[in-house]
């Protein structure tokens, strides 16, 4: 059980860091360049910037590389990011999931920052998993076993909330969720 928890946490760390750190790289240029979709509402909204997308992804990748180094240096018994590119799909996928959620949120007319429970907590998890599965299905199925997935689904909203609280207290986030 403890090993399940450690494995789930280990596998999700790049996604947690990329998703939660995007807000630290505030940035100015929005990914949608301020443009509206065909419904007259913003494509993604002002909250989604290139700097956040790229900064968050790079931090997630950095964390994954550090994890892989720590594993190699210490022989701790945790899953291996091998092929190493899964770190990219986990980190960038997390950002894409969040972006896709924002797109849908704008279509529903939900303002930036207004909560959409469940979608807000799992957008990045779904994005990280789907992108990684698409590119590295063998690695995904081998590492994200049903019990790991179950633990990750419970863990993710809790850590997401914890990370967001930190961002809020640091004054980097306008809402504590």
Of the pair 116, 163, the CB lying nearest a copy of itself is at 116
- Among residues 133 and 163, whose Cβ is nearest to a copy of itself? 133
Shortest approach of a copy of itself to residue 67 CB, angstroms?
25
The yes or no reply on residue 146 touching a copy of itself (CB under 8 A) is: yes
Closest CB 104 distance from a copy of itself, rounded Å: 8
Query: How many angstroms from the chain centroid is the CA of residue 123?
Result: 8
State the Cα–Cα distance between residues 58 and 143, nearest whole angstrom.
23
Verify binding: residue 12, a copy of itself, rule CB under 8 A: no
Which residue, 33, 58, 54, 55, is CA-closest to 44?
A: 33
Out of 108, 109, 111, 171, the only residue in the binding site for a copy of itself (CB under 8 A) is: 108
Residues between 86 and 105 that touch a copy of itself (CB under 8 A): 104
Closest CA to 94 of 131, 136, 55, 43: 131
Query: What are the counts of helices (DSSP H) followed by strands (DSSP E) for the chain?
Result: 6, 0
Helix axis angle, 86-107 relative to 119-135, nearest 10°? Answer: 140
Cβ at position 117, least distance to a copy of itself in Å: 7
Nearer to a copy of itself by C-beta: 48 or 101?
101
Enter the DSSP assignment of 88. H
Site for a copy of itself in 111-130 (CB under 8 A): 116-119
Q: Which residues pair with 49 in a beta bridge?
A: 30
Total chain residues near a copy of itself (CB under 8 A): 8
Q: Which residues here bind a copy of itself, judged by CB under 8 A?
A: 104, 108, 116-119, 141, 146
């Amino acid at each position: 059980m403890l090993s399940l928890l450690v494995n789930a946490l280990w596998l999700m760390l790049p996604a947690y860091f990329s998703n939660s750190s995007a807000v630290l790289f505030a940035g100015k240029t929005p990914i949608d360049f301020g443009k509206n979709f065909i419904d007259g509402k913003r494509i993604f909204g002002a909250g989604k910037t290139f700097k956040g997308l790229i900064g968050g992804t790079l931090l997630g990748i950095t964390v994954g590389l550090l994890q892989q180094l720590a594993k190699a240096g210490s022989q701790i018994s945790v899953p291996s990011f091998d092929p190493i590119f899964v770190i990219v799909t986990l980190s960038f996928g997390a950002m894409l999931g969040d972006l896709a959620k924002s797109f849908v949120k704008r279509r529903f007319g939900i303002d930036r920052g207004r909560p959409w429970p469940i979608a807000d907590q799992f957008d990045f998890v779904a994005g990280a998993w789907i992108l990684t599965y698409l590119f590295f299905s063998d690695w995904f199925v081998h590492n994200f076993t049903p019990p790991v997935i179950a633990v990750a689904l419970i863990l993710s909203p809790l850590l997401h909330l914890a990370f967001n609280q930190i961002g809020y207290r640091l004054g980097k986030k306008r809402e504590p969720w």
